[in-house]
């Protein structure tokens, strides 16, 4: 296997994911893992991830230096590169040129005399940089294997020690052929041969759930989305009737969603679904709250409160199962300490301290497209697998300002028109996510001969592969026009529709 030591980059799991796509088994461990513990896993190679801090800070994150003496290849990425440079006697400085975004890579010795890391790569491909520090002096024994316009040391290597380092991020989707570099490292340089497969993952998870749960019961929070549906199906395979699936109507759902979810689960889930009507509890607690993080925390807590109330009605419930994915984790908390909190996803950063359940989160290391593959393995229907993501905090984070019933109703009407039009035009299937946001910005309009002073709806449609990065969808103008016309004509109280043309980063997909 390959061990990835995590220094807190937003992209660490993408390294693991790229390797999994190549069927290479890997594990992510905190950067401070002791060399004995790494050795115990018998890895064939080590990758040092990126991270937000600087190597010259006093409390900079360090790696157990004996890692370099294990006799297996090491690859450093961004912070990992700077770590290697310093650990081997070179130096790193804060650069005047911050480099964020695209850079063109120039491979030294191309085409006949290139580093093994770049085997089969083309020259002058785009890679993604995101750093403000850079290597200033190379450590002894290292040579430059690629440059870019702003980085004379875009990639360096010490062939004898088999230590490699990249200033850019080969793991992000926007680095062309970055996946090839990771593959070259793992397969050619480290010689990894074992195969990682989704069926193995599924089998392994089902077995470990069965073992952990014993004869206790598990309450599984279902939302109707693919993640929790996959978790429920896995649990049913593992523990059968010890599974108690619960769907909480929090009053923040889309139009008709509760009925749809109940219908779908009646057909597709063997355990009987319990619906909890918690509309008053959620809306009561949210009344007058407009800060996004506060909304998220209240919703997270109220979910747990409702789950605990329901659990009291059954004997022997010890666990709560959720469809938490890796992007929820990385944006909400710092997994091993070092990463930044972006927003508190309701099921991770929004969990209360007083919770009594133990958590079961079998998808915690995966991305949504990987979860969809598991859904297919489990035989879930396509409509369920390909549903757009819908966040647990629901419409509450799509209403700017405080959340109330009239605004929820207004947003629901606009949202359902958007979804209708996208489905009819085939764009629902082509996009990652689509929704309306109620901006609570009023503007002047004229309808008939009358002046209006009404609310604005923002339409957000994005394309993404895993939700970590996203671009706005280039919808045809006539489709946008139809959506806008229908919303303004059919939803009383909306006189303006705008289209969100921001990408993630620097925006996020949701508005809050």
Q: Which residues bind ligand XMP (CB under 6 A)?
A: 296, 327-328, 331, 343, 345-347, 389, 391-393, 433, 467, 504, 508-510
**Residue 436 CB, nearest distance to ligand XMP (Å)?**
13
Q: Whose Cβ is closer to ligand XMP: residue 144's or residue 355's?
A: 355
78 tagged catalytic:
yes
Shorter beta-carbon distance to ligand XMP: residue 369 or 510: 510
- Between 323 and 338, whose beta carbon lies closer to ligand XMP? 323
Is 64 annotated as belonging to a binding site? no
Active site residue 171: yes
CB of 411 to ligand XMP, least distance (A): 15
Query: Measured between alpha carbons, how far is 379 from 381 in angstroms, rounded to an integer?
Result: 6
Side-chain half-sphere of 9: how many Cα atoms within 13 Å? 32
The residue (of 48 and 298) whose beta carbon lies closer to ligand XMP is 298
Cβ contact 320:348 at 8 Å: no
Comparison of 17 and 134: residue with beta carbon closer to ligand XMP: 17
CB 82 within 8 A of CB 58: no
89 is in an annotated binding site: no
* Alpha-carbon span 88 to 305, nearest angstrom: 52
Token pair belonging to 453: 């002073």
| Helix boundaries (H) for 161-272 | 178-183, 198-213, 226-239, 257-268
**How far is Cα 141 from Cα 9, in angstroms, rounded to an integer?**
28
Distances in whole angstroms, Cα of residue 329 to Cα of each of 121, 229, 232, 323, 336: 33, 19, 20, 11, 11
Output DSSP code: residue 473: -
By C-alpha distance, which of 261, 292, 254 is closest to 433? 254
Least Cβ distance, residue 61 to ligand XMP (angstroms): 25
Q: Of 26, 78, 121, 458, which one is the catalytic site residue? A: 78
Residue 226 annotated as binding site: yes
Q: How far is the CB of 394 from ligand XMP (least distance, A)?
A: 9
Closest distance between ligand XMP and the C-beta of residue 296, in Å?
A: 6
Q: How far is the CB of 228 from ligand XMP (least distance, A)?
A: 9
Q: How far lies 146's CA from each of 124, 143, 167, 299, in Å?
A: 10, 9, 10, 49
Q: Which is nearer to ligand XMP, 455 or 469 (CB)?
A: 469
Q: Work out how close the CB of 472 gets to ligand XMP at its nearest, in angstroms, rounded to a whole number.
A: 12
Q: Does 8 show up as a binding residue in the annotation?
A: no
The tokens for 198 are 């989704």
Q: How far is the CB of 332 from ligand XMP (least distance, A)?
A: 8
Is residue 458 flagged as an active site residue? no
Q: How many CB atoms lie within 10 A of CB 386?
A: 12
Q: Which is nearer to ligand XMP, 209 or 464 (CB)?
A: 464
Helix axes 292-312, 279-286, angle to 10 degrees: 150
Query: Considering the complex, what minimum distance in angstroms separates the CB of residue 252 from ligand XMP?
Result: 11
Catalytic residue among 99, 131, 169, 301: 169
Q: Backbone phi, then psi, for 285, in 5-degree steps?
A: -70, -30
| DSSP type of residue 340 | P
> Quick one: which of 368, 365, 274 has its CA closest to 326?
365
Enter the tokens of residue 161.
């020690």
DSSP, res 504: B
Q: Which residues contact 304 (CB under 8 A, 6 or more apart)?
A: 320, 351, 352, 355, 357
Residue with smaller CB distance to ligand XMP, 105 or 348: 348
Q: Cis omega before residue 505 (within 30°)?
A: yes
Could you tell me if residue 124 is left (phi over 0), alpha (psi between -120 and 50 degrees) or otherwise beta?
Answer: left
Angle at CA of residue 437, ends 388 and 390, nearest 5°: 25
| 228 appears as a binding residue in the annotation | yes
- Select 47 or 462, whichever has its Cβ closest to ligand XMP: 462
Question: 87: annotated binding-site residue?
Answer: no
Lookup: tokens for 157 = 């290597």
Q: What is the largest CA-CA distance in the chain?
A: 80
List 99, 171, 305, 421, catalytic entry: 171
Going by the DSSP 8-state scheme, the letter that residue 443 receives in this structure is E
Q: Are 344 and 332 in contact (CB under 8 A)?
A: yes
For 382, phi then psi, to 5°, come to -60, -40
Residue 290, annotated ligand binder? Answer: no
> Where is the binding site for ATP, in residues?
223-229
Residues forming the annotated binding site?
223-229
Active centre residues (catalytic): 78, 169, 171
């Amino acid at each position: 296997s390959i061990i990835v030591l995590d220094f807190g980059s937003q992209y660490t799991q993408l390294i693991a994911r790229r390797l999994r796509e190549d069927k290479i088994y890997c594990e992510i461990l905190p950067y401070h893992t002791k060399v004995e513990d790494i050795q115990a896993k018998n890895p064939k190679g080590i990758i040092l991830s990126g991270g937000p801090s600087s190597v010259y800070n006093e409390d900079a994150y360090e790696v157990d230096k004996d890692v370099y003496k294990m006799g297996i290849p090491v690859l450093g990425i961004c912070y990992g590169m700077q770590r290697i440079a310093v650990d081997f006697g070179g130096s790193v400085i804060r650069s005047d040129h911050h480099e964020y975004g695209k850079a063109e890579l120039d491979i030294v010795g191309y085409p006949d005399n290139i580093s093994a890391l770049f085997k089969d790569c083309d020259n002058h491909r785009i890679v993604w940089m995101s750093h403000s520090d850079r290597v200033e002096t190379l450590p002894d024994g290292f040579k430059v294997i690629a440059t870019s316009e702003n980085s004379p040391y875009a990639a360096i290597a010490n062939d004898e020690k088999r230590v490699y380092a990249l200033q850019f991020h080969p793991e992000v989707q926007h680095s062309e052929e970055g996946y090839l570099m990771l593959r070259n490292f793992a397969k050619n340089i480290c010689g990894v041969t074992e195969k990682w497969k989704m069926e193995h993952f599924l089998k392994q998870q089902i077995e470990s759930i069965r073992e952990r749960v014993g004869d206790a019961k598990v309450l599984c929070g279902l939302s109707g989305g693919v993640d929790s549906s996959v978790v429920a199906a896995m649990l049913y395979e593992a523990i059968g009737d010890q599974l108690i699936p619960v769907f909480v109507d929090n009053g923040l759902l889309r139009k008709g969603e509760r009925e749809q979810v109940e219908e779908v689960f009646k057909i597709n889930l063997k355990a009987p679904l319990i619906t909890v009507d918690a509309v008053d509890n959620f809306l009561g607690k949210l009344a007058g709250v407009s800060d996004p993080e506060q909304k998220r925390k209240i919703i997270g807590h109220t979910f747990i409160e409702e789950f605990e109330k329901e659990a009291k009605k059954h004997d022997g419930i010890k666990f709560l199962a959720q469809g938490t994915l890796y992007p929820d984790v990385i944006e909400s908390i710092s997994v091993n300490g070092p990463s930044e909190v972006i927003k508190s996803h309701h099921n991770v950063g929004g969990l209360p301290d007083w919770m009594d359940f133990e958590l079961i989160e079998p998808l915690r290391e995966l991305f949504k497209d990987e979860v969809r593959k598991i859904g297919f393995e489990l035989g879930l229907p396509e409509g369920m697998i390909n549903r757009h993501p819908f966040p647990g905090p629901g419409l509450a984070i799509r209403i700017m300002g405080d959340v109330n019933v009239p605004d929820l109703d207004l947003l629901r009407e606009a949202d359902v028109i958007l979804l209708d039009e996208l489905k009819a035009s085939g764009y629902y299937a082509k996009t990652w996510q689509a929704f309306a946001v109620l901006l609570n910005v009023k503007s002047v309009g004229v309808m008939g001969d009358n002046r209006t002073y009404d609310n604005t709806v923002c339409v957000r449609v994005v394309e993404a592969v895993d939700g970590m990065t996203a671009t706005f969808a280039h919808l045809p103008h006539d489709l946008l026009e139809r959506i806008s016309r229908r919303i303004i004509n059919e939803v009383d109280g909306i006189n303006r529709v705008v289209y969100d043309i921001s990408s993630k980063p620097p925006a996020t997909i949701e508005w809050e």
